Structure 1
Amino acid sequence: MHQHPQQDLSTPVTGAGRRSPRRRTSRFTGLVAAVAAVLGLGTMTSPGAHAADNPYERGPAPTTSSIEALRGPYAVSQTSVSSLLVSGFGGGTIYYPTSTSDGTFGAVVISPGFTAYESSISWLGPRLASQGFVVFTIDTLTTVDQPDSRGRQLLAALDYLTERSSVRTRIDSSRLGVMGHSMGGGGTLEAAKTRPSLQAAIPLTPWNLDKTWPEVTTPTMIIGADGDTVAPVSSHSEPFYNSLPSSTDKAYLELNGATHFAPNTSNTTIAKYSISWLKRFIDNDTRYEQFLCPLPRPSLTIEEYRGNCPHTS
Structure 2
Amino acid sequence: MQHPHTRTTHRPRRRSGSRLAAAAAALTAVVGLTALGGPGAHAADNPYERGPAPSTASIEALRGPYAVSEVTVSRVAVSGFGGGTIYYPTSTADGTFGAIAVSPGYTGTQSSIAWLGPRLASQGFVVFTIDTLTTLDQPDSRGRQLLAALDYLTQNSSVRGRIDSSRLGVMGHSMGGGGSLEAAKSRPSLQAAIPLTPWNLDKTWPEITTPTLIFGADGDTIAPVASHAEPFYNTLPSSLDRAYLELNGATHFTPNTSNTTIAKYSISWLKRFIDNDTRYEQFLCPVPRPSLTIEEYRGNCPHTS
Equivalent residue, structure 1, for 2:216: 224
Equivalent residue, structure 2, for 1:115: 107
3-state SS in 2 of match to 1:52: coil
3-state SS in 2 of match to 1:173: strand
CA distance in 1, matches of 2:161, 2:61: 28
Equivalent residue, structure 1, for 2:8: none
Q: Which amino acid aligns with 2:87?
A: Y
Q: Is the 8 A contact 2:101 2:169 kept in 1?
A: yes
Distance change (3 Å), C-alpha of 1:174 and 1:223: same
Distance change (3 Å), C-alpha of 1:240 and 1:264: same
CA distance in 1, matches of 2:81, 2:43: 36
CA distance in 2, matches of 1:133, 1:62: 15
Q: Equivalences for 1:63-78 in 2 at 5 Å? A: 63-78=55-70
Equivalent residue, structure 2, for 1:182: 174
CA distance in 2, matches of 1:203, 1:166: 27
Are 2:285 and 1:293 aligned?
Answer: yes
Among 239, 244, 254, the alignment partner of 1:262 is 254
Equivalent residue, structure 2, for 1:303: 295
CA distance in 2, matches of 1:112, 1:224: 16
Equivalent residue, structure 1, for 2:264: 272
3-state SS in 1 of match to 2:43: helix
Deviation at 1:247, TM superposition (A): 1.3
3-state SS in 2 of match to 1:223: strand
Equivalent residue, structure 2, for 1:81: 73
Deviation at 1:312, TM superposition (A): 1.0
3-state SS in 2 of match to 1:109: strand
Equivalent residue, structure 2, for 1:247: 239
Q: Equivalences for 1:204-223 in 2 at 5 Å? A: 204-223=196-215
Q: TM-score when scaled to structure 2?
A: 0.87
Deviation at 1:224, TM superposition (A): 0.4
Q: Which amino acid aligns with 2:156?
A: R
Q: Deviations over 1:82-126 (max 9, x none)?
A: 000000000000000000000000000000000000000000000
Q: Which amino acid aligns with 1:99?
A: S
Deviation at 1:50, TM superposition (A): 6.3
Among 228, 231, 235, the alignment partner of 1:236 is 228
Among 81, 88, 94, the alignment partner of 1:96 is 88
Which consecutive unaligned segments of at least 5 residues does structure 2 have? 1-21, 27-33
Q: Is the 8 A contact 2:40 2:49 kept in 1?
A: no
CA distance in 2, matches of 1:186, 1:227: 18
3-state SS in 2 of match to 1:78: strand
Q: Deviations over 1:228-283 (max 9, x none)?
A: 00000000000000000011100000000000000000000000000000000000
3-state SS in 1 of match to 2:44: helix
CA distance in 2, matches of 1:140, 1:51: 38
* Structure having the higher Rg: 1
Equivalent residue, structure 2, for 1:58: 50
Distance change (3 Å), C-alpha of 1:84 and 1:59: same
Among 126, 144, 149, the alignment partner of 1:157 is 149
Q: Runs ≥4 in structure 1, deviation > 2 angstroms?
A: 47-50
Q: TM-score when scaled to structure 1?
A: 0.85
Equivalent residue, structure 2, for 1:312: 304
3-state SS in 2 of match to 1:179: strand
Are 2:195 and 1:170 aligned?
Answer: no
CA distance in 2, matches of 1:232, 1:51: 43
Q: Percent identity?
A: 86
Q: Which amino acid aligns with 2:93?
A: S
CA distance in 1, matches of 2:209, 2:286: 22
3-state SS in 1 of match to 2:280: helix
Q: Deviations over 1:46-71 (max 9, x none)?
A: x9996100000000000000000000
CA distance in 1, matches of 2:45, 2:223: 42
Q: Which amino acid aligns with 2:58?
A: S
Equivalent residue, structure 1, for 2:188: 196
Q: Which amino acid aligns with 1:154?
A: L
